[in-house]
Amino acid sequence: MSKIDLDRIDKEIIRLLQQNAELSAAAVGEQIGLSQSPCWRRIQRLKDDGYIQGQEMKFDRKKLGFDVMVFAQVKLTAHGRSKVPEFAEIISHFPEVQECHLVLGNIDFLLRIVVRDIEEYERFFFKKLSHLPEIQEVHSNIVLSEIKYTTQLPV
């Protein structure tokens, strides 16, 4: 991926598309003072250079019945740390795991998991997560309320 210097217009395009990915190039251009064609070219360049990756929709997990969110801290055994790539490969196939981060500190991985209810998390924990090789500890933190969630970067 090539890196380009983002100017004020590029940053404004990114801000607008983070707020509403459905905006057309004409609508974006209108808001930032560019005609549709040069605005489209800028958006295309941002996509080609990897600054814009996809055009995903956001869904309300609770309206879709996923009422429980869990942050699980996973620590591998000392021997298991050599198996980080294997753990990452396996965990990436679990649809309940929305995010998986390899971290420094007292734990090895931080997982964000969504499920319909506590019973579903219990099944996930005992039938999937706890069966992964080389796990030493898992600390589960159940989210009571979501105070802030955003995918928008402070460009």
47-105 per-position pLDDT tens digit: 999 999 988 888 999 999 999 999 999 999 987 778 899 999 999 999 999 999 999 99
| C-alpha torsion angle, residues 57, 60, 66, 68 (rounded to 10) | 110
- pLDDT reading at 43 higher than 90: yes
- Residue 5, both tokens: 């210097």
- pLDDT reading at 1 higher than 60: no
Worst-scoring range by mean pLDDT, 2-6, 102-106, 121-125, 133-137? 2-6
Geometric angle at alpha carbon 125, from 121 and 129, rounded to 5°: 135
- pLDDT reading at 3 higher than 80: no
pTM for the predicted model, two decimal places? 0.84
Domains annotated on the chain, with CATH: 8-48 (1.10.10.10), 68-142 (3.30.70.920)
